[in-house]
Every structure is written in C-alpha cells, then in structure tokens.
Amino acid sequence: MALVQPMGEATELRIVCSFTIEHVPAQQDQLALDPAAEFLPFAYSLQERLDLEHYLRPHHEDDNQGTLIRWAHQFLHTDKPNSTREVLARMNAHIGQSLEYKARDEEGTQTPLATLALGSGSCRDYALLMMEAARRLGIATRFVSGYLYDAALDTATQAQADSMTGAGTTHAWLQAYLPGIGWLAFDPTNNLMGSGQLIRVGVTRDPAQAAPISGSWYGDAEAYEGLEATVVVTRRKN
C-alpha cells in the first residue's frame, strides 16, 4: 500500500510492474480423477471440505425462478452418468459459443444473472458465471487473475489475425478443484482447459478481491483524466 502526495504539477502518474515468469505447465490432463469423484454428484472428503468451504459456497444469489441453477443443470445428462470432467468441459465450451464477448472497462464484475440476461460479458464475467454454476453442482471453484500467452503476439504480422481473446493483456479464468487432479484451469473465453497458455498471478474466492491496482483519488476530477492500462506478454528468447 502506498500514499502518493504530488509536490507539484505533473503530466502523468505511472505505475510500472515488470517481471519474468518461468512457466512450466502442469500435465494435469494425464492425471486421473479420484474414482469417487469421477461422476457427479460426488462428495469431498472432510479434510478437503475444511479447506474448500469458501470455494464451495455460492457468493451470488439466484432469482426466484432458479435461472442459474436451471442453466447449470442443462449440462447434465438425464439418461446416463455424468462425467465430472465432461460436464465442466461442456459448460466451458458453451459459454464462449452462446454468449457474445465484450471487453468492458467498467469497474467490477457482472453478476451471473446479468451476464445471462445480457447474453454478453468480458472474461471476468464469463469466469464468474461458470464459477457460480459449478458451485451449484457441488464443485469448488475459484477466480484466477493473470495473463494469457499467445505465440501469435510474438510476431507482429500475425498478432491481429491469430491472437486469442484476451491475449497480451490482463485475463481472467477459473479453477475447479477435482480430487486426484487438484485445481484444474478452465478458460470459458477461449474454451481452454489446463494451464498451458494461462499464466496465473493471483487466485481469490471472488473477483472483487483480484483488482491488480485499486485506490482513490482526492482532488479535482479534471486533474486526473485519461486513465490507461497496458499489458505486454512475450516469450523471452534465450
């Protein structure tokens, strides 16, 4: 935390954070689920529930019609067992396919009901929707803030044509805790599963706790205009 007191006029206030990450993606696709959690519904062990309590409890209310729980149940089969991993994969794919992605500069995250009603949202809105839906199926989830690496951004000629949604900037997704595997990443914005291109920086139980920079400005509104944030994610050449 910092308190900045300008001693005179300035043209800008710049906060710069630069760091290098050695990213070794986990081979979670090769790990097997605990047999007891292979199908929904399943129950976490007592020791797991003690640690997962805040990630299991929904943080946003459903409406009187049960819109969110009905939306979550559409991914469950009624005529055969529901594979835990497959249900999450179907939900992950459906969000990006059925909703319209819209980058938003406004502070905060839409509620899951607002995202469904609008039919659109940003990466953080998509992540929260899937988090809350999965929690209603008994699966512990948490919000992840970080960066999405896309090799297309390393070459200027392909940067615009091939880059994925959210690449090269601050990105958001979620993780679901699956016994036997651990925290498995899901990115509904790009229909990604696993951590190959997702660079995790912070995890929280709710998006409101994941603001990279937050604070207040005391003074004339006209004295503080043109707020901009830029992020560059590139692969370091050895």
| CATH code of the domain in which 167 resides | 3.10.620.30
**pLDDT score recorded for residue 234:** 67
Domain count, the chain: 1
For residue 234, is it within any domain?
A: no
**pLDDT score recorded for residue 218:** 72
Domain residue limits at 88:
37-210+217-223
Strand partners, 176: 141, 184
For residue 7, is it within any domain?
A: no
Evaluate the CA torsion angle 215, 219, 220, 224 in order and state its sign: negative
> Which residues of the chain fall short of a pLDDT of 70?
1, 23-30, 151-169, 195, 212-215, 223-238
For residue 26, is it within any domain?
A: no
Residue pair 210/108 in contact by the 8 Å Cβ criterion: no
| Rounded Cα distance, 76 and 60, in Å | 22
Which residues, including other chains, have CB under 8 Å from residue 51's CB and lie 6 or more apart?
A: none
**pLDDT score recorded for residue 157:** 47
| Rounded Cα distance, 219 and 68, in Å | 42
**pLDDT score recorded for residue 101:** 92
**pLDDT score recorded for residue 113:** 97
Residue 24 backbone dihedrals phi, psi, to 5 degrees: -120, 95
For residue 229, is it within any domain?
A: no
For residue 127, is it within any domain?
A: yes
**pLDDT score recorded for residue 229:** 65
| Rounded Cα distance, 21 and 19, in Å | 7
For residue 91, is it within any domain?
A: yes
User: Is residue 161 exposed (0-12), middle (13-18) or buried (19+ Cβ within 10 Å)?
Assistant: exposed
For residue 228, is it within any domain?
A: no
**pLDDT score recorded for residue 159:** 46
| Rounded Cα distance, 17 and 152, in Å | 23
For residue 120, is it within any domain?
A: yes
